[in-house]
Amino acid sequence: MSAARAERSPMALLGSRPRDRLFMQIILIALALWWLFPLYTAVRASIAFGGFDNYASLLTAPISGVWLPRTFVNSAVVAAIHAGVVVVCSALSGYAFSRLRWRGRDVAYTAALVFLAVPATALLVPVYYITGRLGMFDSYAAVAFPEATLTLPFGVLLIKNFADGLPGTMFEAAVLDRASVFQTFRYIFLPQIRTPLMNLGILSIMWSFQDYLFPSLVLRSPEKATSAQAVSLITGAFGATPQQQSQYYAALVLLALPAVLLVTVGLRWIAKGVTAGGTKD
């Protein structure tokens, strides 16, 4: 799509009119307030009795054997393994499906996309059995690998579709210069897919922090609990007194904080990854 056509697009015309821009800003502000209201309510309830000392006590003392800062570290380790596996495998698969010619490529790609329809609940029994046979219960890898298995089909689809839109001149030049497959992948392919890879990594981390199913399945000790799992583990530790209810809301705010920060920080990269490759000169 040329620059002239982009300027005449409906969205560009809509944004160029002062009245329309004001209308869009009002809608965005209303949506932001709608999203912030539950967070504001939780923060307000968390300091209603005891003030900010509730947060200090939660960060220094375990609750039912669960120490909240430790759950953040556990979630970060699982998310890092998950994102690393997905990014590396998606980059290699996207290159193989998009730029290499080999027998059975289309069949293999279709088979990979079929797994997009597989729900997480369908993997519970196989994951539990394999984890037990390998003796991997209560380990970070036992959570990260099933999560990566569910994310990989999306990653392959994202990188392959983006790679299909890359200009072929540089790859043809690499063939003429007798560059190896690995050299072409490293020096030509990887630099051009940095944006979707960053997008995929951030999405993988966000999805991992939100996952409750697999941590609850394979993690046994409170010391290995993730932040999503900790919500259910600490629920019974608080009573019905106003002070304890405020502490409970403070715990919920702390457990939600990593996801809010990830969305806020990664929103720019997510938007770039979604729109990358959408226009061509």
Residue 237 in contact with residue 64, Cβ under 8 Å? yes
Report angle CA 148, 269, 71 to the nearest 5 degrees.
50
Average pLDDT over residues 26-49: 88
Average pLDDT over residues 137-163: 94
Quote the CA–CA distance of 44 and 261 in Å, as a whole number. 19
At residue 142, the pLDDT reads 95
Quote the CA–CA distance of 276 and 194 in Å, as a whole number. 10
Phi, psi of 179 (to 5 degrees): -75, 145
Residue 154, pLDDT above cutoff 90: yes
pLDDT digits (tens, 9 = 90+) for 4-22: 554 555 555 555 677 877 8
Report in angstroms the alpha-carbon separations of 76 from 79, 82, 152, 247.
Answer: 5, 10, 19, 24
pLDDT digits (tens, 9 = 90+) for 123-139: 999 999 999 999 999 99
